[in-house]
Amino acid sequence: MIGASNVFGLDGPTDATGTAIAAAAIPNNPALAGGNFYFQFIFYEASW
Amino acid sequence: MDWSCQCDFADVDHDGDDDLMHSSYGQAFSGAVMSRMFLNNGGFFSEYNPSAQISGNPNIAPGSGAGFLEGQHQTNTTDTTGLFHDIANVSLDVDFADFDGDFDNDIQASSRDTQQRIFQSRWYENGESYGNEVATTRLYRDVTGSWLLGPGGLAQLPGANYDNDFHDMDNDSDVDGYFLGYIGTQDRWAVNDGSGHFQSFQTVPNSANDDNETDWHDFDHDGDVDPFISAFSGADRFYKNQYVETSSINLTEVQLGQGLGVQTLGSDMGDMDNDGDIDIICAEDSGQNEVLLRNNINVPDPIAPRIDQIQQLAPGNPSSTPRRIISRVWDNINFEYMKQATGTLNFTVNGNPHSAHAKYTGGNLWRSVIPGYFYGNISYSLTVSDRVGNAGTSAVKAVVIPLQGFTTFGTDLPGCHGAHVLGVGTAPTVNNPEFSMTCTGGPASSMSLCLVTDSQGRASTSLVSESRSGPM
């Protein structure tokens, strides 16, 4: 992922328990068949 | 070639579009030309004729298997096993309704001069399919012999059966009927025993007239439906259904209106002046002016639609096929006008609320769907709002769809270094607008970004067409 040239960013705010849900609607697109996709969550956390 | 006076539309194969029932009365009212069914396939209609047999032109011969009914054509048959049917009558009217209460649309076809017919939809009996020629099953079966002529029924000797109309006359949640010219020119009404059998045929007072059409409405807003008769000879007539007041239908003629039509071919119900009550417009023959009967009750209809039956979904796995839900809906107006109402399926998935449009699907049925990819605890109900805003809601049904297609990848360590591949899930096989990734154990009430690339390290435009992609 770190070497990727281009990424999608999906918002995923966390709730009070620290759970983040990122909605990624899968469209009706035959080009998706057999494809691999890679997902990574990055969290922002205040340092104080 | 045929001779048709009326057709009706309904979704007979539960695919979400309206199919066509096309009646025929035959050359010179011979009752010898078959009625036909046409299926809607994305806006294009094709005849449902599973045997591929072709009728003679124009008349169909006894023994022919052509058409949408199980078995072979036999004039005036009373067989109800599917071996024989009568597909050629003097049919000037055809109506869809769910007579047997199993959530599919059956058919009633008038016949001016011969035994009128009733055809049962076999959709559910056939395992939610059209049927199978090898098994001699088709989408419809002629059940006239038991539903119209069975115990409690009444053999007719019609001479003027130009039209019938169906509705729940006694608010007991099945489809009753008004039969024009059932014996001679005299009208009858009859109630349904709940399983499609019409019984207790009653004479309509002062109905031995040459009438042409009947329509349901509720002119006095009392909550039961009243028939209006379009008379081809003499003045049109109003009858009052007394069920709400007396617990007995006991149709009684009432003198309403002035300037009634006197040679009416047909009438339609609707709120012409937008005051919330139902008016009537009558089409007159012989060059006479049409007649508009304005209802001067002048208050909006206060009766909400009634949804007393909604299908229970069967448990099953997540699926690419939406889960279809059929409901039986009633309102104090004929089915033709009821489709002006608005239907909404409200449902929750594990407590999260959703809604979907519900569609009038012919007769007294409405159709809605829940996407097949949802799983977990699903509960649902249908709300139908009539044109003036009265809303009725069904009971709430519930179903549990077991968890499937959900992958837990495991536990990772925070930080940027090292490999972070936790697992591989199989690709979903259906488009899913509700698909999401979940990550737990993050900072509470914070922000996160879920990054997505394809195997080439690119933001695949085939996955998401959003503009929030960009170079790292």
* Predicted pLDDT of residue B70: 98
Q: How many beta-carbon pairs under 8 angstroms link A with B?
A: 195
Q: Measured between CB atoms, which of B432, B443, B454 is closest to A18?
A: B443
Residue B131 near residue B50, CB atoms below 8 Å: yes
Q: What is the pLDDT of residues B172-215, one digit of tens each?
A: 999 999 999 999 999 999 999 999 999 999 999 999 999 999 99
Query: pLDDT-derived band of residue B436, with 50, 70 and 90 as boundaries?
Result: confident
Query: pLDDT-derived band of residue B465, with 50, 70 and 90 as boundaries?
Result: very low
Higher local confidence (pLDDT), B301 or A40: B301
Query: pLDDT-derived band of residue B467, with 50, 70 and 90 as boundaries?
Result: very low
Q: What is the pLDDT of residues B243-274, one digit of tens each?
A: 999 999 999 999 998 899 999 999 999 999 99
Average pLDDT over residues B98-118: 96
Judging contacts by C-beta atoms under 8 Å, the chain A residues touching residue B463 are 8, 24, 26-27, 29, 32, 35, 37
* Predicted pLDDT of residue B157: 81
Higher local confidence (pLDDT), B246 or B471: B246
Per the CB < 8 Å rule, is B455 touching A32? no
Higher local confidence (pLDDT), B440 or B163: B163
* Predicted pLDDT of residue B451: 78
* Predicted pLDDT of residue B435: 73
Per the CB < 8 Å rule, is A14 touching B443? yes
pTM of the prediction? 0.85
* Predicted pLDDT of residue B158: 83
Interface membership of B471 toward A (CB under 8 Å) = yes
Judging contacts by C-beta atoms under 8 Å, the chain B residues touching residue A2 are 416, 472
Scan residues 2-31 of A and list those with Cβ closer than 8 Å to B. 2-29, 31
Q: Is the pLDDT of residue B419 over 80?
A: no
Higher local confidence (pLDDT), B402 or B278: B278
* Predicted pLDDT of residue B469: 38
Average pLDDT of every residue of chain A = 74
Q: Is the pLDDT of residue B387 over 60?
A: yes
Q: How far is A2 from chain B (nearest CA, A)?
A: 8
* Predicted pLDDT of residue B171: 98
* Predicted pLDDT of residue B449: 81
Judging contacts by C-beta atoms under 8 Å, the chain A residues touching residue B471 are 5-6
d(CA B119, CA B100): 11
The ipTM value here is: 0.82
Average pLDDT of every residue of chain B = 91
Q: Is the pLDDT of residue B330 over 80?
A: yes
Q: Measured between CB atoms, which of B420, B438, B470 is closest to A6?
A: B470
Judging contacts by C-beta atoms under 8 Å, the chain B residues touching residue A29 are 431, 462-463
Q: What is the pLDDT of residues B50-87, one digit of tens each?
A: 999 999 999 999 999 999 999 999 999 999 999 999 99
Average pLDDT over residues B299-320: 93
Interface membership of B455 toward A (CB under 8 Å) = yes
Interface membership of B451 toward A (CB under 8 Å) = yes
Q: Measured between CB atoms, which of A4, A18, A23 is closest to B457?
A: A4
Query: pLDDT-derived band of residue B365, with 50, 70 and 90 as boundaries?
Result: very high
Interface membership of A47 toward B (CB under 8 Å) = no
* Predicted pLDDT of residue B459: 66
Q: Is the pLDDT of residue B303 over 80?
A: yes
Q: What is the pLDDT of residues B346-357, one digit of tens each?
A: 999 989 999 999
Higher local confidence (pLDDT), B403 or B377: B377
